[in-house]
Structure 1
Amino acid sequence: MTPAARMAACLTAQTRKRVDFDVLAGAADDGDASLPTSPMRRRVLAAAARELATTGLVRLPAGDRGWDRSAHPPLPRWVERTTPSRVRAPRPRPRAWVTALSFATRTALSKADLALLDPINVFLRDRPKAEPVPLAERFYELYGDEKYLSRPDTHHLVAADLLSIPAHLRAFATPAPLAMFELGPAPWMLIVENSAAFTSLRRVLAAWPAAEDVGWLAYGGGDHLIASLTTCAEAFAERRHPVTDVLLYTDLDVDGLECAQLAAARARRAGLPKLVPAAGLYHALMHQSPRPWPPAAPERIRAAVSWLPPCLARQAEQLLLDGHVLRQEALPLDRLRTHLTAGAPLLPQLLGSSSTTGQR
């Protein structure tokens, strides 16, 4: 490889338009061990610079300040990379879209959109009644990449109700299942955010003397909970153990309460019973020792606590505004046992009401 060719290769790795000539000279030296000590080095580098300019890869400095004239021949102190002229892309041939994708004929589509839709077009043409499969399997079939779209439900064509995952891709999402434990036959489920609180509640409920009062206990938090909620209905149907009440118990902090609101919206869209706060557990948690935590903006705090019943919301708002939070670990196993009275109906205690309908 010639010195000019090595300089040209070095240019492709540069991000700035102006490149110090020393960088290019170093690339030429690296490719020829004899060049750094050669008496002809300056002439070789000057010739390579002229060749780069002649071929249009760089522009040499126009003024005297841009040249090193301490020896002969002069060398540029820098060069400027040129922007290659745009080559007009050939006009794409008209596509014949299947009827199900007719929106593509009247919608401005990017190259990425066309890369997404073309395989679907062929798929619907050849297999319009294909059996629905998990979305990752369909992506692998059509694109050779099971994660072709990281968040398909937010893609602009899907969000605009133009592209349908069930109808066009003949596929369905498969979120990781929520960790659910059927501790008894009662028609309710309690979801707990933290693993320590989940373990403590599992021990309390597993030993509950009136086994018929106990239902499902589930563990999940954050994005996992929101994505996995849709798997609950299938589990209820498989076990022939439906629920009429779904309760959620999170940390008393902004992130936990915002997660609860998102989960409640997801449950509603999935056709699950209304997701409500486990107010009885929150009441017990509110009487424990908080820990300091930098407060969020007041408007964000007010929006987050609005998911709680009014009395709890006021207490939680003041707690968070004062720069404190309450993690579920503040209500440990022994205090949970004390708080939940074994001789009384269990669900009203979890709901913080005297009847199962108080918070619904």
Structure 2
Amino acid sequence: MTAADRMAGFLDRQFRQRVHFDALADVADQGDSSLPCSPGRRQVLADAADELVRRGLARLPVGQGGWDYSAHPALPRWVNRPPLPRTARARPGPRAWVPQLSGLAAVQLTPGDHALLDPVNVLLRDRPDAEVVRVAERSFELYGDEKFLHGIERHRLVTRGVLDLTTHLRARPAPAPLAMFELGPAPWMLIVENSAAFTSLREVLGGWPDRDQVGWLGYGAGDQLIASLPTAVDAFRERNHPVDRLLLYADLDLDGLECARQADERGRKAGLPALLPALGLFRALLTRDARSVPAAPPPRLREAVSWLPPDMASEVFDLLAQGRVLRPEALPLPVLRARLDSAVPLLPQL
């Protein structure tokens, strides 16, 4: 069975029109133990996405915002299932909802909504105080499919406040942990968005002469950082090595800046310090050659660059408005090594 076959089977079991590509990639990984570590994984996933389109099972995003350009080839952030043909269909009859779900009586529900809600109704009827477990575990218990509830926090009933993950599903998210490396005892962490820059900085910081100046190094893995950043709280506690400063070195493009703002908000809610731009690295990056991409919409740009200090925000706004972006790969290992001077304190250089 190919990656496309496994993705197709997963799509067939979904109740939402839009399916995040991370979920499809997970299905492909689970069917081929060699794929997660394969250097050709992205190409396999890209080919599988194209195959889904050829089979008429998925539609790919239109526009730059729907794609992950952190490595080659680009991968879609989601796929849309083709709309089903309109057929006359009897609507499900009224349900006797448990008190916790009584608000559903005023909501027009689809058959897909009932497929989601009926098992939840039974759970709350029989075990209203069920222990709160991970989403995938509850998903398997209620639907026989650990992926059925993937992305449930974006379902319209959840975003409208009618269905609650903890109160009704008795579940909680289990994001992939942030990849973190304790390089030294200093109370700070630098998070790097992409793998090339992360590997280079790990080499430079791992060989820093004064170990007391070095702290944590984290790998953000693109927009997965938004979900994974709060897991750093547990790592800091387990190692008894808290931080008072979090820095991020990411793409200077619309997606990278929007990811930074959202990760900052999510991290603060989890009790972490503010996620700050690694200004020293960004200033060095701004001296490098930019690459051309389609220009981003100015309203989104203004909001995205607000994560940066005003002087840098203005410069980056002008750059992105002209359809130019900067990626950390433009600041390679030899340049990084030359710019980070071991004779002066490290943190201000970052």
TM-score, normalised to structure 2, is 0.69
> How far apart in 1 are the matches of 2:151 and 2:111?
18
| CA apart distance, 1:88 | 6.0
CA drift of 1:86 comes to 6.0
Distance 1:323 1:162 in 2: 41
Moved more, 315-324 or 245-254: 315-324
Measure the CA separation in 2 of the matches of 1:259 and 1:93: 42
- Provide the residue aligned with 2:165 in structure 1: 165
Pairwise CA distance, 1:291: 3.1
1:324 match = 324
Question: Cα 1:102–1:184, aligned 2, differ >3 Å: closer, same or farther?
Answer: same
Distance 1:125 1:243, change over 3 A: same
Aligned residues: 264
C-alpha deviation, 1:106, in angstroms:
4.1
Q: d(CA) in 2 for partners of 1:210 and 1:198?
A: 20
Distance 1:341 1:159, change over 3 A: same
Report the residue type matching 2:222 in the other structure.
G
Deviation at 1:198, TM superposition (A): 0.5
State TM-score, norm by structure 1: 0.67
What is residue 239 of structure 2 aligned with on the other side?
239
Residues in 1 aligned to 2:211 and 2:147: alpha-carbon distance in whole angstroms = 44
- 1:92 maps to what in 2? 93
Q: Following the alignment from structure 2 to structure 1, what is the Cα–Cα distance between the partners of residues 145 and 153?
A: 17
Contact 2:246–2:273 at 8 Å: present in 1 too?
A: yes
Tell whether the 8 Å contact from 2:124 to 2:168 is kept in structure 1 after alignment.
Answer: yes
* 1:146-179 per-position Cα deviation (integer Å, ceiling 9, x unaligned): 1223421112222122322122222111112221
- Which amino acid in 2 is paired with 1:331? L
Change (3 A) 1:150 1:135: closer
- Could you say which residue in structure 2 is the equivalent of 1:27? none
Q: What SS does the aligned partner of 2:169 have?
A: coil
Distance, in Å, in 2 between the alignment partners of 1:169 and 1:87 is 28
1:75-120, Cα deviation, whole Å (9 max, x unpaired):
xxxxxxxxxx96866x73651x333223234444333333222211
Alignment-derived partner of residue 110 in structure 1? 110
Q: Secondary structure at the match of 1:189?
A: strand
Q: What secondary structure is seen at the aligned counterpart in 1 of 2:180?
A: strand
Larger radius of gyration: 1
> Cα distance, 1:142 vs. partner?
0.5
Q: Contact 2:135/2:149 (CA < 8 Å) preserved in 1?
A: no
Unpaired runs of 5+ in structure 1? Answer: 1-84, 351-360
Aligned-residue RMSD, C-alpha: 2.4
Query: d(CA) in 1 for partners of 2:255 and 2:88?
Result: 49
Deviation at 1:205, TM superposition (A): 1.0
Correspondence 1:310-321 to 2 at 5 A: 310-321=310-321
Distance (Å, rounded) in 2 between the aligned partners of 1:327 and 1:106: 49
Where structure 2 has 5 or more consecutive residues not aligned to the other structure, the ranges are 1-86
Provide the rounded CA distance (Å) in 2 between the counterparts of 1:293 and 1:109: 42
The equivalent of 2:253 in structure 1 is 253
- C-alpha separation in 2, matches of 1:109 and 1:293: 42
Q: Could you give the per-residue CA deviations for residues 244-297 of structure 1, whole angstroms, max 9, x where no partner exists?
A: 211111122222222222222222333321111001110111122333444334
Which runs of structure 2 are paired with 1:71-82 in the superposition (5 Å)?
none
Query: Which residue number in structure 2 is paired with residue 154 of structure 1?
Result: 154
Aligned partner letter, 2:263: A
What displacement does 1:348 show? Answer: 2.4
Distance in 1 (alpha carbons) for counterparts of 2:160 and 2:268: 21
* SS at 2:175 equivalent: coil
Identity score, percent: 58
Aligned-partner residue type, residue 341 of structure 1: D
Shift in CA distance, 209/151, structure 1 to aligned 2, threshold 3 Å: same
Structure 2 CA distance for partners of 1:322 and 1:130, relative to 1, 3 Å: closer
Deviates more, 1:319-328 or 1:159-168: 319-328
